[in-house]
């Protein structure tokens, strides 16, 4: 059996293990109550209202009857089968009941109660006790401090949320927040889309988002997965699982906590510019997860991805009955990085035969306010047949000569038959409500404004491009035998873990990163010998443990033309070091070859505690932090990922040439990024690595790492 087939079998086994959680043969509600104000009453009601068809048992020491069903006094009395126990009892009583459920062999339990880790050390200890009991019996836990799960197609609803529950649909939702679940259920009904599965994770004492994302993906009714995340338990495992899932189904995420105030910056620019949120951003990109910025946006995207085919490219046509809204749509599409499609002459000629003379047959197609159902249908059909069009946005404010519902009736069949995505910006409220209901019933994605429709098209395009890039990659990064850097990495320059500049340059050179000729000297005579060997002109740098950012301290001198200039430079460096208090450390002089002018960029690596090595690229030089023109990607990089990383920055786009700047050697920069990426994976002990600047020469002439800084050791803790 091939490695790929083995992995697929393992994934199927993992996901099948959760079938009894979402589709249990029997459920025991422990803490069921006749009091309508109690959670135990609401869960019992929801299981019945949802139409759950398995065995259902209510448990309460008081006994009696609830909803005309017997109430058992303990879980021991409940007959088989029971695959799921729902615990709605005080936190202190949970361990004893878990013991009883474990003895019964119940494989899953949902702990709805709060009072655990979220309350402090005592609650955390209680949570650990519950987890130990569950592990002893091989039981898996959802929660505690959660609202439960539901599946609209089984159907089953184990939550205590108010009715009505969500409509059956195609969107799976996994959330760290129970309150968000409640809001999303209510909002989804008003927006006309349904949920397939919903999971509230709570404290995640046992099962996490990483465990359950594949369970959602395995559900045949789930076409799109949406995640509300406050963090992940195991970054690398999440990355691995999410990447597997996104190969088959789109995954969208809202990750809250984008900024981390008070985070202590590590010593390099790379470390200072990286942060928790940048690491999540890079991880989502690596995994193929589309990250939304707010809740409405993520579900706008989810509807489009659930209901629309994927586009073949970025070219979009706009069809509208009003010029102003059409112009808004064009701006919104450009903001999303999409292109206004140039229509073929045959398409324009066909449109001109349909439209009145005053209308516009160019893109955007403005049919004028008099356009009725037949005109909308004919123009949409013509545009969709154009080979230059990859997707269409129909912009429909209330038409004066017909109803929006009439328009909807005319174009829905065309949209449903099309292999290209069509989204509708249905502008208004009361006058378009009936049309909205028609579109949603037909699974046509409608939005109230063109900006939201453009955002949804952008998500479709990014999803399509991610899948095409995956298919184009030839098995990912090719493994190479790593060079032996053990001796170099052991050569630390003091207690801070930084390597000497010579050692750092030698290390990156082993990964095919070119550096200028350079020599280290202890005094004037050594510096003179080094300069003679390298050849004037030279650069001169002060090297000491306290001088990490030498340029900022004025400890770099360039273009020293002769011996007199060299000795004068050494004198100036000594004075500046003394003024800055740098002379209290042993120092040396780095004499370096002067190199031609070129474009300067920064490249680097910093190791994130959750996800591993992050590769950085951006505008280099002394103003790197002020400019903030940087982007990050998780190692290891493929060639396509390295190019995409560069193109997310102005520095990377400028390498293609800009005004008087000729195109630079982008290929050389890609090789540097790939080399640093491999180095970071091969040697986990490298905590930080920075080349600033990497000077890039015209196309075909390569790039040189002018200043290399590398720190070995554990990543510094952050507050």
Q: 646-663, pLDDT tens digit by residue?
A: 999 999 999 999 888 899
Q: Which own/partner contact pairs does 643-648 have at CB distance under 8 Å and 24+ positions apart?
A: 643/670, 645/615, 645/617, 645/673, 646/617, 646/670, 646/673
- pLDDT at position 586 is 64
pLDDT digits (tens, 9 = 90+) for 502-521: 889 999 999 999 999 988 88
pLDDT at 554 over 80: no
Q: Which two tokens mark 182?
A: 């409640």
CA 707, 713, 715 angle in degrees (round to 5)?
A: 90
% of the chain surpassing 70 pLDDT: 90
578 versus 173: the higher-pLDDT residue is 173
- Strands 315-320 and 168-175, how do they pair? unpaired
Question: Do residues 148 and 110 touch, judged by C-beta distance below 8 A?
Answer: yes
The pLDDT of residue 269: 42
What residues have CB less than 8 Å from 660, skipping those under 6 apart? none
Q: If pLDDT is split at 50, 70 and 90, which confidence band does 547 have?
A: low
How high does pLDDT run on average in the chain?
Answer: 90
Q: How far apart, in whole angstroms, are the C-alpha atoms of residue 392 and residue 312?
A: 12
Residue 38 burial (C-beta neighbours within 10 Å; 0-12, 13-18, 19+) = middle
661-687 residue pLDDT tens: 899 999 999 999 999 999 999 999 999
- The answer, yes or no, to whether residue 556 has pLDDT greater than 60, is yes
Query: Residue 716: pLDDT band by 50, 70, 90 thresholds?
Result: very low
pLDDT for 627 equals 75
What pLDDT was estimated at residue 446? 97
Apex 481 CA angle, 477 and 483, nearest 5: 115
Look at residue 261 and tell me whether its pLDDT is greater than 50.
no
pLDDT at residue 21 is higher than 80: yes
CA distance 717 to 270: 16
Query: In the chain, what percentage of residues exceed pLDDT 90?
Result: 73
Locate the DSSP E strands across 383-511.
391-396, 422-426, 446-447
Lowest mean pLDDT among 5-14, 147-156, 482-491, 541-550: 5-14
Calculate the CA 628 to chain-centre distance: 20
Query: Looking at residue 224, what DSSP letter applies?
Result: E
Whole-angstrom distance, CA of residue 53 vs CA of residue 55: 7
Instruction: For residues 70-98, give the mean pLDDT.
Output: 97
> What backbone phi and psi angles, to 5 degrees, belong to 486?
-60, -40
Of the pLDDT bands very low, low, confident and very high (cuts 50, 70, 90), residue 258 is: low
pLDDT digits (tens, 9 = 90+) for 355-380: 999 999 999 999 999 999 999 999 99
Q: Domains in the chain and their CATH numbers?
A: 14-222 (3.40.50.720), 309-472 (3.40.50.261), 517-593 (3.30.1490.20), 599-712 (3.30.470.20)
Give the pLDDT of residue 6. 44
42-46, 225-229, 708-712: range with lowest mean pLDDT: 708-712
* Rounded alpha-carbon distances, angstroms, from residue 47 to 168, 353, 653: 15, 59, 56
- The predicted model gives 219-228 an average pLDDT of 96
Q: Which residue has the higher pLDDT, 434 or 11?
A: 434
Residue 10: predicted pLDDT: 46
Determine contact, residues 616/273, Cβ cutoff 8 Å: yes
The single residue listed with the structure tokens 């180095």 is 679
Please check the confidence at residue 335 and state whether its pLDDT lies above 60.
yes
pLDDT on residue 487: 83
**With contact defined as beta carbons under 8 Å apart, do 223 and 246 qualify?**
no
Q: Specify the range with the lowest mean pLDDT, choosing from 240-249, 335-344, 618-627.
A: 618-627
- Positive or negative CA dihedral for 209, 210, 213, 214? negative
Of the ranges 14-18, 453-457, 565-569, the best mean pLDDT one = 453-457
For the CA atoms of 244, 250, 255, 259, the dihedral, rounded to the nearest 10 degrees, stands at 90
The confidence band for 498, taking pLDDT boundaries of 50, 70 and 90, is confident
Q: 12 falls in which pLDDT band (50, 70, 90)?
A: low
Q: Quick: pLDDT tens for 376-419.
A: 999 999 999 999 999 999 999 999 989 999 999 999 999 999 99
Question: For the chain, how long is the longest CA-to-CA vector?
Answer: 102
């Amino acid at each position: 059996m091939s490695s790929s087939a083995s992995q697929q079998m393992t994934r199927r086994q993992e996901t099948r293990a959760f079938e009894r959680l979402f589709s249990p043969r029997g459920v025991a509600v422990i803490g069921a109550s006749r009091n309508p104000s109690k959670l135990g009453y609401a869960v019992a009601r929801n299981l019945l209202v949802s139409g759950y068809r398995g065995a259902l048992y209510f448990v309460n020491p008081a006994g009696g009857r609830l909803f005309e069903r017997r109430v058992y006094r303990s879980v021991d009395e409940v007959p088989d089968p029971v695959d799921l126990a729902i615990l709605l009892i005080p936190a202190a009583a949970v361990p004893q009941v878990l013991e009883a459920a474990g003895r019964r062999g119940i494989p899953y339990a949902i702990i709805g109660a709060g009072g655990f880790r979220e309350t402090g050390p005592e609650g955390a200890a209680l949570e650990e006790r519950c987890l130990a009991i569950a592990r002893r019996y091989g039981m898996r836990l959802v929660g505690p401090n959660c609202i439960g799960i539901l599946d609209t197609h089984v159907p089953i609803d184990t939550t205590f949320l108010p009715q009505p529950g969500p409509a059956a649909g195609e969107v799976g939702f996994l959330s760290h927040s129970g309150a968000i679940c409640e809001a999303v259920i209510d909002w989804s009904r008003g927006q006309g889309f349904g949920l397939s599965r919903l999971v509230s994770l709570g404290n995640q004492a046992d099962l996490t988002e990483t465990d359950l994302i594949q369970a959602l993906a395995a559900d045949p009714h789930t076409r799109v997965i949406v995640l509300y995340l406050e963090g992940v338990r195991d970054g690398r495992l999440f990355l691995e699982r999410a990447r597997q899932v996104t190969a088959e189904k789109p995954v969208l995420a809202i990750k809250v906590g984008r900024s981390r105030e008070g985070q202590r910056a590590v010593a390099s620019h790379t470390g200072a510019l990286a942060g928790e949120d940048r690491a999540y951003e890079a991880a989502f990109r690596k995994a193929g997860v589309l990250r939304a910025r707010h809740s409405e946006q993520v579900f706008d995207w989810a509807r489009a991805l659930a209901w629309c085919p994927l586009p073949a490219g970025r070219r979009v046509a706009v069809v509208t009955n009003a010029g102003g809204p059409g112009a808004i749509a064009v701006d919104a599409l450009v903001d999303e990085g999409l292109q206004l499609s140039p229509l073929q002459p045959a398409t324009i000629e066909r449109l001109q035969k349909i439209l009145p003379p005053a209308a516009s047959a160019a893109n955007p197609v403005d049919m004028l306010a008099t356009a009725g159902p037949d005109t909308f249908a004919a123009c949409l059909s013509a545009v969709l047949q154009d080979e230059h069009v990859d997707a269409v946005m129909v912009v429909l404010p209330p038409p004066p000569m017909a109803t929006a519902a009439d328009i909807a009736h005319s174009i829905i069949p065309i949209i449903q038959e099309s292999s290209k995505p069509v989204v509708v910006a249905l502008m208004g409220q009361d006058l378009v409500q009936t049309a909205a209901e028609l579109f949603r019933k037909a699974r046509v994605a409608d939005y109230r404004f063109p900006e939201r429709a453009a955002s949804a098209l952008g998500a479709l395009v990014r999803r399509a491009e991610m899948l095409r890039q995956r298919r184009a990659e030839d098995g990912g990064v090719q493994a190479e035998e790593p060079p032996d850097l053990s001796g170099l990495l052991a050569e630390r320059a003091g207690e801070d873990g930084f390597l000497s500049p010579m050692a750092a340059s030698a290390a990156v050179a082993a990964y095919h990163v070119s550096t200028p000729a350079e020599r280290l000297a202890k005094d004037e005579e050594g510096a003179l010998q080094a300069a003679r060997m390298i050849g004037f002109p030279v650069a001169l740098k002060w090297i000491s443990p306290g001088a990490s950012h030498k340029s900022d301290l004025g400890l770099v001198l360039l273009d020293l033309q002769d011996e007199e200039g060299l000795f004068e430079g050494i004198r100036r460096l000594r004075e500046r070091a003394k003024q800055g208090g740098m002379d209290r450390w042993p120092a040396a002089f780095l004499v370096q070859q002067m190199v031609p002018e070129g474009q300067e960029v920064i490249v680097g690596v910093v190791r994130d505690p959750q996800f591993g090595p992050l590769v950085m690229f951006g505008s280099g030089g002394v103003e790197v932090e002020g400019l903030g023109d940087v982007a990050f990607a998780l190692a290891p990089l493929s060639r396509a990922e390295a190019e995409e990383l560069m193109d997310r920055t102005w520095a990377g786009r400028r390498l293609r040439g800009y005004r008087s700047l000729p195109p630079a050697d982008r290929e050389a920069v890609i090789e540097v990024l790939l080399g640093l990426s491999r180095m970071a994976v091969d040697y986990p002990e490298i905590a930080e690595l920075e080349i600033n600047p990497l000077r890039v020469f015209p196309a075909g002439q390569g790039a040189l790492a002018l200043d290399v800084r590398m720190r070995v050791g554990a990543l510094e803790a952050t507050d």
